[in-house]
Amino acid sequence: MRAKTRPIKKKKKSFLRIFFRHCLCLFVCGLVSFSVVLLYFANGLPDLKNLKTEIRFPGVTIQTYDGKILGTYGDLYEELVKLEDLPKYVPEAFIAIEDKRFFHHFGIDFIGFCRAIYQNYIARKVIQGGSTITQQLAKNILIAEGIITHYDKTIKRKIKELLLAFWLEYRFSKADIMMLYINRVYFGAGTYGIDAASRKYFNKSSTKLSIFEAAILAGLLKAPTKYNPGNHPNYAYERALVVLKMMEEQGYIKDAKEIEKKQAKSAFANSPQQDQNCMYFCDYAYEQAKKILGEIEDDIVIITTLDDKKQTAAEASVDFYVKTEGDNYKFSEASFICLNRDGAILAMVGGTKYSATQFNRAVQANRLPGSAFKIFVYGAAIEYGFQLEDKISDEPISISNWRPKNYKWKSRGEISLLDGFTHSVNTVSIRLAQFIGLERVSKFAKKLGIFDVSIHDMSVAIGTTPVTLKDITSAYTSFMDGIPIWPYCITEIQTKSGDILFQKNKEKILPIIDEEALISCKALLRNVVKNGTGRAVNVNAHIYGKTGTNGNTDAWFVGFYDPPDDKNSGFSMGVWIGNDINRQKMIETSTGGRIPARIAKMFFLKLLSNDESVAEKTFLKEVDTGIASKKPGLGALLGM
């Protein structure tokens, strides 16, 4: 009998052995999958050895002849700034507010990321970001290389950003990463890099930044438009205080309040107001540069004719009367221009608020000049042979169905040309135009730069030819020396390296107005200011000009200052007030001799008086005496 065989028992496998085997398989699969994903997303990452400098629009800087920056266009970059050349508190300000664990992570701050998620969850909104400085640099590089866009919010974009951040940390030192970051980050208003931002916002090199200025720049990265120190100084100030507090907590500075007390005022004193009315001038200069150069392909610097003192006086004068009398006289807009005697634009105000509309009323708005046009009628008549003493009827006149009236003038029968112009008598101007013919009027106006004067409509004799403030002021400038004037605003255009692309050449121009006729025309313009409708402007014996009124739609004063013993100090100016929509009328007494003349007066006083506040004092005195009043009916002495 055969012995029974026992079945062989299988040895049980160890649980730990099975567990580790599965873990190994999962790890290998995960590693392979991660490698595939890594290779997929790494495809197309930029070569860090050959990064593009930037993808941008050419940077245009507009400045005065003495180097003050007025405005910028395009994307602004400066030369690379080395970290060791900056005050140590400059990078510290960025680290304090943007990435306080910068020196303790490897590109991604998991602690900061988790903290941001928790804080955002508690607040039920996004109040903290989790991106490190390295991640922000990676994002900027990807955008500059054209791999992603500013508006790309996909997971693929985030993965590429993280991969590049890891690679940056592996490839560069922390100091190198900070240097790359601070030279590439966007500071708003088309400005990239610490040095470009420092020059734009504080008009100085980044190597000379104060602690408070560094805090302002570090603070505006969160929202470059909102915290722009030029446009929103209050927001920028509060944000800078947050940066200083963070710097103090992290040990970079000792006393934030002491720094605020000592440096805040000077920081904002150096910060230009980007929303100034001079931006109308900057836009105009930028457009003129494009006409000169054609397509702008490289970074350029435009050196302009703007005179800072005259620009400030023009803005202050316009702003003062818009605020104090705009509601009373029912006007909402005003424009102003000032020219040197050779046509250089020294000041320009294109409207009351640039941020509301960029339409430049000084150069783009065609309005009816009213009696300001009459100098061309009288000038043509004087060239024809009339003398200032010659008499002409001021009686009412009728042409077909047209019966023009005189404003507050009682007919005397016959008056001299000088009196007719001084008191802006419409019927005298019309009779002169009838006698010499509109062809002569048109020819005289055209050689001074006023074109499209009708030779078939007698109403042009009292100002129904549309003109811009720039053109009519330019024409009046010609009466200073008798030569034609072509306004210009650019003296030179350079590359950023200093190569000259354009330079204004001054040419000798022959007079276009006969010397005797010129003397007579100046006598007319002087008598208006001395005895006539422009007498509100008579603050100096060498001021000439003429008022103009188009019903209750437009009101003007155009004139010039021309001291005989100092030709270099002479200049012309023009001011217009009204509303953009013609059907929105001003009050009936809104004549050129009222608010436009008052604006001109304040402008002249600010420039010709040693006391900077004399213009405001004069206005307040006139209010007390009833010469100028918030009740227009009491201002009888203002003239037409």
Beta bridge partners of 348: 337
Cα distance between residue 27 and residue 185, in whole Å:
39
Coil/strand/helix, residue 232: coil
| Strand segments (E) across 516-561 | 543-550, 554-561
Rounded alpha-carbon distances, angstroms, from residue 422 to 3, 310, 432: 148, 28, 15
Burial status of residue 302 (CB atoms within 10 A of its CB: 0-12, 13-18, 19 or more): buried
Beta bridge partners of 545: 559
**Single-letter residue type at 12:** K
Cα distance between residue 287 and residue 285, in whole Å:
5
State the CB neighbour count (10 A cutoff) for residue 42: 14
Q: Are 600 and 318 within 8 A, CB to CB?
A: no
Res. 93: pLDDT tops 70:
yes
**Per-residue pLDDT at 151:** 55
User: 211, 262, 269: which is closest to 240 by C-alpha?
Assistant: 211
**Per-residue pLDDT at 59:** 83
| 30 sits in which H/E element | helix 15-42
Cα distance between residue 316 and residue 603, in whole Å:
8
**Per-residue pLDDT at 468:** 97
pLDDT-based confidence at residue 621 (cuts at 50, 70, 90): low
What are the structure tokens assigned to 506, written together?
Answer: 């001054």
State the CB neighbour count (10 A cutoff) for residue 314: 28
**Per-residue pLDDT at 183:** 87
Helix 515-531 vs helix 469-481: angle between axes, to the nearest 10 degrees? Answer: 120
| 495 sits in which H/E element | strand 490-495
End-to-end CA, the chain: 147
Average pLDDT of span 304-330: 95
For CA atoms 175, 176, 182, 186, the dihedral sign is negative
Burial status of residue 193 (CB atoms within 10 A of its CB: 0-12, 13-18, 19 or more): buried
| Strand segments (E) across 499-540 | 500-503
pLDDT, tens only, 399-429: 888 888 887 777 888 999 999 999 999 999 9
User: 490, 489, 516: which is closest to 503 by C-alpha?
Assistant: 490
Residue 67 gets the label, from left (phi > 0), alpha (psi -120 to 50) or beta, of left
Residue 285 has φ and ψ, to the nearest 5°, of -65, -40
* Percent of the chain residues topping a pLDDT of 70: 78
More confident residue, 4 or 382: 382
Cα distance between residue 94 and residue 361, in whole Å:
43
pTM of the model: 0.72
User: 72, 16, 67: which is closest to 187 by C-alpha?
Assistant: 72
Cα distance between residue 185 and residue 138, in whole Å:
11
Helix 233-249 vs helix 89-98: angle between axes, to the nearest 10 degrees? Answer: 90
**Per-residue pLDDT at 167:** 80
What are the structure tokens assigned to 540, written together?
Answer: 């100096």
pLDDT-based confidence at residue 40 (cuts at 50, 70, 90): very low
Beta bridge partners of 347: 338
Cα distance between residue 145 and residue 55, in whole Å:
7
User: 180, 86, 87: which is closest to 133 by C-alpha?
Assistant: 180
User: 450, 504, 439, 503: which is closest to 477 by C-alpha?
Assistant: 450
Cα distance between residue 196 and residue 70, in whole Å:
14
Q: Are 518 and 480 within 8 A, CB to CB?
A: no
Average pLDDT of span 40-56: 50
Q: Could you tell me which CATH class the domain 80-269 is placed in?
A: mainly alpha
Res. 627: pLDDT tops 50:
no
**Per-residue pLDDT at 639:** 31
More confident residue, 535 or 57: 535
pLDDT-based confidence at residue 569 (cuts at 50, 70, 90): confident
What are the structure tokens assigned to 201, written together?
Answer: 């916002």
Residues 6+ apart with CB under 8 A from 192: 54, 56, 75, 76, 77, 184, 185, 186
Res. 148: pLDDT tops 70:
no
CA atoms in the 13 A half-sphere facing the CB of 140: 23
pLDDT, tens only, 242-288: 999 999 999 999 999 999 999 998 888 766 654 466 889 999 999 99
Residue 427 has φ and ψ, to the nearest 5°, of -65, -30
State the CB neighbour count (10 A cutoff) for residue 162: 16
pLDDT-based confidence at residue 330 (cuts at 50, 70, 90): very high
pLDDT-based confidence at residue 329 (cuts at 50, 70, 90): very high
The CATH architecture assigned to 370-466 reads 3-Layer(aba) Sandwich (3.40)
Q: What is the mean pLDDT of the chain?
A: 84
Domain with CATH 3.40.710.10 in the chain: 370-466
Residue with tokens 């140590």: 88
* Percent of the chain residues topping a pLDDT of 90: 54
pLDDT, tens only, 331-367: 999 999 999 999 999 999 999 988 788 899 999 999 9
**Per-residue pLDDT at 575:** 98
- Range from 115-119, 205-209, 244-248, 441-445 carrying the lowest mean pLDDT: 115-119
Coil/strand/helix, residue 621: helix
What are the structure tokens assigned to 89, written together?
Answer: 């508190």
Q: Dump the DSSP string for 326-354.
A: HHHHT--EEEEEEEETTSBEEEEE--S-T
Helix ranges (H only) for 185-336 are 194-202, 211-220, 233-249, 256-269, 278-293, 308-329
Angle at 636 between CA 635 and CA 640, to 5 degrees: 100
Residues 6+ apart with CB under 8 A from 250: 95, 96, 100
Res. 2: pLDDT tops 80:
no
Cα distance between residue 336 and residue 281, in whole Å:
11
Average pLDDT of span 489-512: 91
Res. 104: pLDDT tops 50:
yes
Per the document, the length of the chain is 640
Most confident of 100-104, 231-235, 372-376: 372-376
**Per-residue pLDDT at 5:** 57
Res. 114: pLDDT tops 70:
no
Q: Are 377 and 441 within 8 A, CB to CB?
A: yes
What are the structure tokens assigned to 92, written together?
Answer: 């510290």
**Per-residue pLDDT at 147:** 65
Average pLDDT of span 181-204: 86
- Range from 5-14, 47-56, 383-392, 438-447 carrying the lowest mean pLDDT: 47-56
**Per-residue pLDDT at 368:** 97
**Per-residue pLDDT at 180:** 87
Domain with CATH 1.10.3810.10 in the chain: 80-269
Q: Which residues of 173-190 are buried (b: 16+ CB within 10 A; e: fewer)?
A: eeeebbbbbbbbbbbbbb
**Per-residue pLDDT at 625:** 38
